[in-house]
Structure 1
């Protein structure tokens, strides 16, 4: 009993302690005077940055003061000037069961809480607001009247007289003694312009000489005297040019000649303000005031007061200087800082009435329109500014900022370059240029520009943070650490540094710390789209999918040209098994592809699932998927290559794209095998599966184990290890296959990546049966080894060099009875390969690729009947391709591509018989054969887009198939891949294809084509026994949901042995989204083929009519079901058309069930249902960790 009492007492004590646990509020930033006290009677003390506040404390801000807070429950708060707030309760974590409560007595507060506790209440003297995940502003007047503005989500607004729900973009008012009422409002978001990291910089708006920059340079050249007036004027000119150190020297020299010179003293005021030495500036002001202050002194005094935070006095003083453009600019700037954007714009327009066509006023007006998201008005004002004065530095800065918002990279760089040419000593254009280059990951150019900006202005807002973010992107983490520490020590509220630090923490796998940093950035600058993108990644990695999607939506609203938020949303929705939502996101991303900055920070996986086509492929709509993949194709992004490698059905094109993808991103196979991380982070992954397959032909077990991982430091690297075993009975005979795969990738520098892949397998089997009227019973062993190395060097993101070297070897032995003979066969194949490629974009819009693909295939084989004859074979095949490819966008709706390949192939074979009945064996006369080819092979393509939803592709392709397994050269022409399935090594393809694609509606996609191929396989008469080509690289590819629908209508597994032929085909495909869970697809192909050796024979495996109907059903609960019915006309499995496959239906079915945590995946498949081939059933269980 005593133990029971002790237990109950301990439990009660624990519960009591839990109830006393309280959250806190951390002070992120303080501008001006902000104070706190404990209780209603405590003494007020000054608030400090990083101070931790507890429930029970009161806060107040003074005139021109602001305060930023982050709560432990992730609520973000900003207090404007003259605001008083009481902290009543804070929950220790988001979405907890308790209550967070505040009481606002007066002033303005902006609050954002997307993950609130069960109750978040905000009380005012006249109402109580109940929050349900939103961002909003509360304004309380001196008489207690409360004005609630909701920007997203919903707020319940109530008092004793009534209650209403205020939704997004609505406003409500509550007065004493009255029920709350809704108000009709427009441009509600203008109310919170004060919630930003906007900084007042008065020196930007003051010109001492009031001349444009070319005139200043001429004036400087003409001012060479050493008297006081000349030196002072020289200092003023240098100051206007941004050369402050030289200006200081000139003013100092003038003061040495005349210490009482008022103009020189005023010049020193500006120098000390530039240095940030407020006390020294005020000292010079006192010395230079005189009995009647000059306009120059009044401007300097106003600038000093603004720098000291006394904006109200400065505003009053500046009203007396309405004959100075500088005064109008300063007054408008203070209004913008106070969040009164409309008033600032009105004042600037009034200034333009006084000073018509003044380029500085126009540029300021353009910026104000841009902050208000009025892009058209901003463009008009900026255009007027540079028209009024082509040498307007401010005008070109405004042009650059507008072009950046529009996503026009060329215009951004051009405008910043012009601004720098006009005023190279001003830091703003350098910073803008560096930031724009950093967004596109042009690391060297960005580093130079940002270093220059920091050299000019080491304390520039966001400068050090942007430089650190650049180091983060380049994986220079130690350098980034130092830069972030420096930036945040100088300004703990630097939102650019906080956002970059969040990205660095995401890359290190410190997700919770990253979210904390990013939420701090969001408090300081809620309109910073980059912060919302990274915040979404952090939320998703922490399992808060709804909030992640909300952040991506906000990011897309802030930068509506950027496709990246939609890319991420598509990946998240696919992960959630919500393909219809993923398709909506992919469609939005494709519309914004012309404005893409970079995808290099986006985590890929072996399937290229970051590709826009994945949203459609996941739903079984392969034609739609291929169209989107080709429309968003970039040769510089691994996601394009890896995704298309899964789509292409031919071995050569598949391996080529796969290798290009792995070389482009050598760390890709370290990606997670459950959830998509969105941004690569350190992790180790493993998987184990067991598969059982049964059919009339074979049955058995197949276990598989895989390990992979990624490390971010000291340099990004990834590894993969896999082992698979097939333990089958094939026709009641043993069939074993052991495969070991290893791969390693590393990026020693941001611009250099290296990749190694190795594969080894052993196949043992004992086939037996009848062939050609003879019985056989043999033992067969096949050993293969393959190793490949790849290197990628990025001179620029759109200027890259790829190298690849590989070596393949196989050895096969074949021993046993064939008919009445004992037969022994041996075969060895060796294939060394070497490839190089250089791809780059030019300023004129050309995308050029050139390089070489070379390889040599050596086959040695022997066939011995152990009685009369042994035949030795030696075959050597080599190929060399030298190519150049050019793609050009002639018009917004027209692309052309031209490829020219110089191809040389040499093939020689020798067949040497030995009469083994003699002792020793005597050689008979050998047979020799040589086939050489040398030619220029052109490929031409065109893509015409009559509208955003319709595309026409035309391609002509001439190609000699190389001896290698893959190539680095482009394998598609205008989005149409080479069809290598019916072309043997050394064979020639001539092809013409017309293809149309039409998104008939958001739910329906149509594709049709006409295709003509002429194939000459240039077969050699001497053909030794050898193994088929092995798709060893495919072992890096995990099995995924959509594999069933990738098969086309033909059954070509390995290239058939035939002379060649003419093949004409017509076909169409239909993909239809039935609802959010069902998708349908259909394909039809008509084919007419004729063997070139005998016109009466068909080309193997090609039916005249083929039709496939498929359906996919997906449920968020983890079910994935795909089924397909295919009907094929009569066709033949051999060149002589003796092995006939009758017409008929076949059916295939895949059923997957995935656990919610994605650890477990179960699969059941049924294949070859209803057809001639043996039905096959497979059950598989996977565990992933």
Structure 2
């Protein structure tokens, strides 16, 4: 069992987060493993009026009733209560009347998820997997904006409720056909439903607007993959998938005007295509390996997948595409272990993205997955965020990005290692509304420098600095982000008996437009 406490603070707000984690394994009778975690998160406002409380519950179970059969269950629940404000916003659209306003927003919600899986081994060379998942959420958002007038308060209220649900079923079978071919095939089905209700009350409660909206997304995938070992140097991979995605939207708006007005906006989207993926790896010699891949993919309505997620060792990049969106890519990459102390990677990359977009409200399906399966992984000790990780998720309809770069990793001493990387990216929005603009959060130049020191007393110190050129934070390129550095530090110490673990960290150290984040995490193990 682990008991931990995390605290961090910034100029905007502070956060405390106690955690209780327990896990175990037994091999008497049926091998059985389990993991359970409870997290309580509380924030307190500073410069930003942000007051929140949240609880996260995670439970995972694994069993192996027979040598051939493995079973798995994962459940996650998250509930939150957030208050933003009251903020004094100053004068705005009512400037001519000389009125100031205050704004208060409350958000309450609960998200829960359950995934069940089974794995069966027909033989050492033939295995199959089955996974079923379901999740739902209920959240409400209440906002009140008030203007002080000589005749009393002038109030504008809104109430928004959303209840998304997601279900999926996935199957995979992998077998070795012969000494050269490893074949995999599978099928997946995903479904998302989302109901939304929004009520807006006008000034002095004179009339209101009512919005009812229902979205239904469905995805069907059939796929086949072949990994072909030509010889000791050359390996090929060929994947072929049929992917079909549909989305329907029913939007109904009722306005209490004179006379009352009802508007109906039905929408439907339909995408179906054959998605090939081809890749090759070639061991040049001298520790160097050359990789190349072409990938085409339609992101399904499920949050995860049993299908292959990499081609010739090059993973699919899902950072730019949302459910229902399509992604195509050419990438060439050289991995070279030049010596025991030096490792280099160089790459050239071309990506195209076409997300679902509505003329009514822009890019669709931008919700994030909150199941947090990462909690089950072995926790990283030294690594910080990946150098190519974006600051935030770009939201855009359609675009293309061409990039090239390299990275060098070097073991300086027995205790010290460092790395340096550079990437040059040219991006262009190719959508109808913002054609020719840059894709958000993609800088033209990005340079990364990092160091990791591992001491003899179970102490690890990591530092990473990233320089990004000027970029934008929105699709319309109206939110410029200036060029500059960002630095992250992390220190970790563990006692000799492994009963105590202390971690300190600092982020945003060189960002002029973002306050520094400093925190510590203490974990006791029993």
Report the secondary structure of 2:382's partner residue.
helix
CA distance in 2, matches of 1:1159, 1:1179: 17
Matched, 1:796 2:137: no
CA distance in 2, matches of 1:1050, 1:701: 26
Matches within 5 A, 1:252-651: none
Pick aligned residue for 1:1181 from 515, 522, 525: 522
Matched, 1:721 2:36: yes
Contact 1:827 1:1025 in 2 (8 A): no
Q: Name the structure 2 match of 1:850.
A: 185
The CA deviation at 1:1019 is 1.5
Matched, 1:1114 2:454: yes
Q: Name the structure 2 match of 1:701.
A: 16
Pick aligned residue for 2:105 from 770, 774, 778: 778
Q: Name the structure 2 match of 1:742.
A: 59
CA distance in 2, matches of 1:1040, 1:863: 42
The CA deviation at 1:1047 is 2.1
Q: Which runs of 5+ in 1 are unaligned?
A: 1-685
CA distance in 1, matches of 2:212, 2:92: 25
The CA deviation at 1:930 is 0.7
- CA-to-aligned-CA distance 1:178-212 (integer Å, 9 cap, x gap): xxxxxxxxxxxxxxxxxxxxxxxxxxxxxxxxxxx
The CA deviation at 1:698 is 1.7
Contact 1:931 1:1020 in 2 (8 A): no
Q: Name the structure 2 match of 1:1133.
A: 473
Report the secondary structure of 2:300's partner residue.
coil
Matched, 1:885 2:212: no
Q: Name the structure 2 match of 1:1048.
A: 387
Pick aligned residue for 1:1005 from 343, 368, 377: 343
Contact 1:898 1:940 in 2 (8 A): yes
Contact 1:987 1:1019 in 2 (8 A): no
The CA deviation at 1:1116 is 2.3
Report the secondary structure of 1:1040's partner residue.
coil
Matched, 1:868 2:208: yes
Matches within 5 A, 1:109-148: none
Q: Name the structure 2 match of 1:992.
A: 330
CA distance in 1, matches of 2:332, 2:197: 46
Report the secondary structure of 1:1035's partner residue.
helix
Pick aligned residue for 2:309 from 947, 955, 971: 971
CA distance in 1, matches of 2:439, 2:359: 19
TM-score normalised by length of structure 1: 0.41
Matches within 5 A, 1:40-189: none
Report the secondary structure of 2:321's partner residue.
coil
CA distance in 2, matches of 1:922, 1:832: 38
- CA-to-aligned-CA distance 1:339-358 (integer Å, 9 cap, x gap): xxxxxxxxxxxxxxxxxxxx
The CA deviation at 1:1095 is 3.9
- CA-to-aligned-CA distance 1:128-175 (integer Å, 9 cap, x gap): xxxxxxxxxxxxxxxxxxxxxxxxxxxxxxxxxxxxxxxxxxxxxxxx
TM-score normalised by length of structure 2: 0.91
Contact 2:382 2:460 in 1 (8 A): no
- CA-to-aligned-CA distance 1:590-630 (integer Å, 9 cap, x gap): xxxxxxxxxxxxxxxxxxxxxxxxxxxxxxxxxxxxxxxxx
Matched, 1:810 2:137: yes
Higher helix share: 1
Of structures 1 and 2, the one scoring higher in RCO (CA 8 A, sep 6+) is 2
Q: Which runs of 5+ in 2 are unaligned?
A: 94-101, 147-154, 202-206
Matches within 5 A, 1:1017-1166: 1017-1023=355-361, 1028-1037=368-377, 1039-1044=379-384, 1046-1054=385-393, 1056-1093=394-431, 1094-1166=434-506
CA distance in 2, matches of 1:773, 1:995: 52
Contact 2:8 2:15 in 1 (8 A): yes
The CA deviation at 1:1028 is 3.4
Report the secondary structure of 2:183's partner residue.
strand
Matched, 1:925 2:263: yes
CA distance in 2, matches of 1:1095, 1:974: 33
Contact 1:1051 1:1101 in 2 (8 A): yes
Q: What is the Cα-based RMSD across aligned positions, in Å? A: 1.9
Higher strand share: 2
CA distance in 1, matches of 2:453, 2:382: 11
Q: Name the structure 1 match of 2:98.
A: none
Q: Name the structure 2 match of 1:838.
A: 173
The CA deviation at 1:729 is 1.6
CA distance in 2, matches of 1:755, 1:972: 24
Report the secondary structure of 1:713's partner residue.
coil
The CA deviation at 1:844 is 4.0
- CA-to-aligned-CA distance 1:543-582 (integer Å, 9 cap, x gap): xxxxxxxxxxxxxxxxxxxxxxxxxxxxxxxxxxxxxxxx
- CA-to-aligned-CA distance 1:1063-1108 (integer Å, 9 cap, x gap): 0000101000111100001111100000012343100000000001
Q: Name the structure 1 match of 2:162.
A: 827
Report the secondary structure of 1:1151's partner residue.
strand
Q: Name the structure 1 match of 2:97.
A: none
